C-alpha cells in the first residue's frame, strides 16, 4: 500500500467535526470547476452530503484492512454504474475532495498529508474504475421495472410487486437500490422480500421515513403501472448453500422482508429447522401477518415467535420482549444466524446471541450505520456530538 493509513486517519479526525461544511464546500468546488457534472446529482443535496461523508468515513475505517477494502471498493464501483459515473469523473472528484480537506484542515494540512490523500484516492478510484470495467458486457447498469401491484400493509408501509424489464439475477437475502421518476436521481436501498420467482417478479416492503424523499413517494403516491429504476443486487447476508445447520433469524419491522426471502429460499432448497423472532413496535405494526401465517402452516420445519407490546407500548418494551424470547431460546451454538431490521438492532442483538453461544463466523447481517439521531445538526458541535440515524444510505456505502 503506497500511502500511510495512519496519516489519513489522523488528518480525517481534524475535519470530521466539520463534516457538513466540508461536504458543502466539496460539491460547490466540484460543480464550479466541472460544468455539467451537477446534472448527475439530485436537486436536493442535503442528504447527498450525508451520504458522501458516510462513504468517506467507511473508506477511512477500512484503509488498514486491505481484504475488506478491496471487496468494498469493488461493490462500490459496480454500483456506481447506475449513477452514470465514468472514469473521467474520478479525477475531478479527487481534486475537489483534496481541496475540501485542505481548506478545513487549516494549519494542520502538510505536504505529507496531501501526498497520502492523493495516493489513497488514486488507489480507491482505480479500484472502483476497474470493478466497473470488469462487469460482463451486456450487464445493465440498471433495470426498469413496472409496479404491477401495490398494497398498503400499514399506514406507513407499502408492499410493492415489481416486474423488471429483463431477468434480474439475485440471491435471497440481497437488497437493491431503487429510484423513481417522481424523485429523479434519488436512490434508496430496500431488501428484496422474496426468493427468485418463476415469473421474475420482485417484492419490496417500503416504510415511509419522516422527510424521506423516495419512501414518501413509494408509500403515498406510486401506483400500479408506474415504472421504477432498480440498481444491481447487493449484499452478502445470504444463506450458506452448503449448510444443514438450524437457522435462527431475528427481524425487526420491515427487516422481515429480508428474512421472508430467506425462508422462501429454504423452502425451495428442501427446508431445515428454522426459528424466526419477528419484532415490531406494536401489534398493529406486524404488517405482514397473513404471509407469516401462510409460511408457518405450509412448512412444518418453521417456527415463528412474535414480539410486540400492546398498542401504546414503547420501543424499549418491544426490545425487551424480543430479548426475553431469545433468552428463552437458549443455546445458539451451531446455528446459522441472520439479523435484519433498524440500524441499532443487529449490533445489540448480536452481542446477546454471542453471549448465548453463537459463532461469530455464522452470524450475518447487512452493514449498518452507527448513527442514531435523525435531526440534522445545526452547528459543527451538534454534528460532532449527536450521531444521526441515516436509514436511507445505500448499504453498499456502509461496507456491504
pLDDT tens track for 175-203 = 999 999 999 888 889 999 999 999 999 99
Are residues 78 and 103 part of one domain?
A: yes
Q: Give the C-alpha separation, 293 to 306, whole Å.
A: 11
Tell me how many domains the chain contains. Answer: 3
Please report whether residue 400 resides in a domain. Answer: no
What are the helix and strand counts (H, E) for the chain?
12, 11
Residue among 287, 261, 255, 263 nearest 201 (CA): 261
Q: Are residues 182 and 80 in the same domain?
A: no
Query: How far apart are alpha carbons 215 and 343 in whole angstroms?
Result: 17
Taking residues 353-360, what's their average pLDDT?
96
Let me know if residue 240 belongs to a domain. Answer: no
* Pair (268, 354) in one structural domain: yes
Nearest to 205 by CA among 169, 252, 167: 252
83-87, 156-160, 309-313: which range is least confident on average?
309-313
Domain endpoint, select from 93, 122, 137? 137
Residues 158 and 226 in one domain: yes
| CA–CA distance, 232 with 143 (Å, rounded to integer) | 8
Contact assessment for residue 236 and residue 170, using Cβ atoms and an 8 Å cutoff: no
- 131 with 210, same domain? no
25 domain residue, yes or no = yes
Q: Among residues 8, 242, 224, which one has the least CA distance to residue 110?
A: 8
Chain Cα centroid distance, residue 308: 25
Alpha carbons 39 and 135: distance in angstroms, whole number: 25
The answer, yes or no, to whether residue 389 has pLDDT greater than 60, is no
- Determine, yes or no, domain membership for 55: yes
Do 197 and 78 share a structural domain? no
CATH number at residue 271: 3.40.50.80
For residue 148, give the CATH number of its domain.
2.40.30.10
CATH number at residue 120: 1.10.490.10
Average pLDDT over residues 96-121: 94
Mean pLDDT on 345-353: 92
**pLDDT at residue 124 tops 60:** yes
pLDDT of 1 strictly over 90: no
What is the pLDDT at residue 221?
95
Task: Confirm whether 181 is domain-assigned.
Answer: yes
My answer on whether 310 and 282 are in the same domain is: yes
Range of the domain at 11: 5-137
Q: Assess whether 116 and 164 both reside in one domain.
A: no
pLDDT tens-digit profile of 275-311?
999 999 888 789 999 999 999 999 999 999 999 887 7
Residues 167 and 66 in one domain: no
- How confident is residue 381, by pLDDT bands cut at 50, 70 and 90? very low
| Final residue belonging to a domain, choices 87, 106, 137 | 137
In a domain, 396, yes or no: no
Tally the C-alpha atoms within 13 A of residue 378's C-alpha that lie toward its C-beta. Answer: 0
On whether both 259 and 357 belong to a single domain, the answer is: yes
Give the helix/strand (H/E) hosting 340.
strand 336-340
Give the three-class secondary structure for 160: strand
HSE, side-chain direction, 13 A CA sphere, residue 101: 24
Residues 160 and 207 in one domain: yes
Q: Does a structural domain hold residue 374?
A: no
Per-range mean pLDDT, top range of 135-139, 277-281, 328-332: 328-332
Same domain, 172 and 270: no
**More reliable by pLDDT, 245 or 36:** 245
Residue with cell 429483463: 166
The answer to the question of residue 389 being in a domain is: no
Amino acid at each position: 500500500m503506497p500511502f500511510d493509513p495512519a496519516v489519513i486517519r489522523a488528518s480525517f479526525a481534524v475535519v470530521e467535526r466539520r463534516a457538513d461544511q466540508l461536504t458543502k464546500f466539496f460539491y460547490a468546488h466540484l460543480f464550479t470547476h466541472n460544468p455539467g457534472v451537477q446534472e448527475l446529482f439530485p436537486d436536493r443535496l442535503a442528504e447527498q452530503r450525508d451520504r458522501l461523508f458516510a462513504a468517506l468515513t467507511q473508506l477511512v475505517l477500512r484503509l488498514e484492512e486491505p481484504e475488506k477494502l478491496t471487496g468494498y471498493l469493488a461493490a462500490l464501483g459496480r454500483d456506481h454504474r447506475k449513477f452514470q459515473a465514468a472514469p473521467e469523473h474520478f479525477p475531478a472528484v479527487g481534486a475537489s475532495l483534496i481541496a475540501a480537506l485542505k481548506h478545513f484542515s487549516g494549519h494542520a494540512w502538510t505536504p505529507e498529508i496531501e501526498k497520502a490523500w492523493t495516493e489513497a484516492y488514486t488507489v480507491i478510484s482505480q479500484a472502483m474504475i476497474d470493478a466497473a470495467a470488469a462487469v460482463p458486457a451486456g450487464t445493465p447498469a440498471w433495470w426498469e421495472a413496472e409496479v404491477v401491484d401495490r398494497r398498503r400493509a400499514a399506514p406507513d408501509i407499502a408492499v410493492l410487486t415489481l416486474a423488471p424489464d429483463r431477468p434480474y439475477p439475485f440471491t435471497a437475502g440481497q437488497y437493491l437500490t431503487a429510484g423513481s421518476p417522481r424523485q429523479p436521481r434519488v436512490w434508496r436501498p430496500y431488501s428484496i422480500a422474496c426468493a427468485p420467482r418463476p415469473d421474475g417478479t420482485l417484492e419490496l416492503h417500503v416504510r415511509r421515513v419522516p422527510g424521506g424523499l423516495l419512501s414518501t413517494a413509494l408509500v403515498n403516491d406510486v401506483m400500479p403501472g408506474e415504472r421504477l429504476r432498480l440498481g444491481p443486487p447487493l449484499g452478502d447476508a445470504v444463506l450458506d448453500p452448503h449448510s444443514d445447520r438450524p437457522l435462527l433469524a431475528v427481524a425487526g419491522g420491515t427487516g422481515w422482508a429480508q428474512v421472508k426471502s430467506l425462508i422462501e429460499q429454504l423452502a425451495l432448497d428442501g427446508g431445515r429447522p428454522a426459528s424466526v423472532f419477528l419484532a415490531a413496535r406494536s401489534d398493529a405494526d406486524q404488517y405482514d401477518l397473513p404471509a407469516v401465517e401462510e409460511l408457518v402452516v405450509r412448512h412444518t420445519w418453521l417456527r415463528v415467535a412474535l414480539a410486540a407490546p400492546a398498542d401504546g407500548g414503547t420501543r424499549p418494551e418491544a426490545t425487551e420482549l424480543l430479548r426475553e424470547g431469545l433468552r428463552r431460546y437458549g443455546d445458539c451454538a451451531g446455528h446459522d444466524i441472520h439479523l435484519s431490521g433498524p440500524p441499532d438492532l443487529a449490533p445489540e442483538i448480536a452481542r446477546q446471541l454471542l453471549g448465548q453461544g453463537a459463532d461469530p463466523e455464522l452470524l450475518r447481517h447487512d452493514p449498518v450505520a452507527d448513527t442514531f439521531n435523525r435531526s440534522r445538526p445545526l452547528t459543527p458541535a451538534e454534528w460532532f456530538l449527536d450521531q444521526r440515524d441515516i436509514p436511507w444510505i445505500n448499504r453498499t456505502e456502509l461496507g456491504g
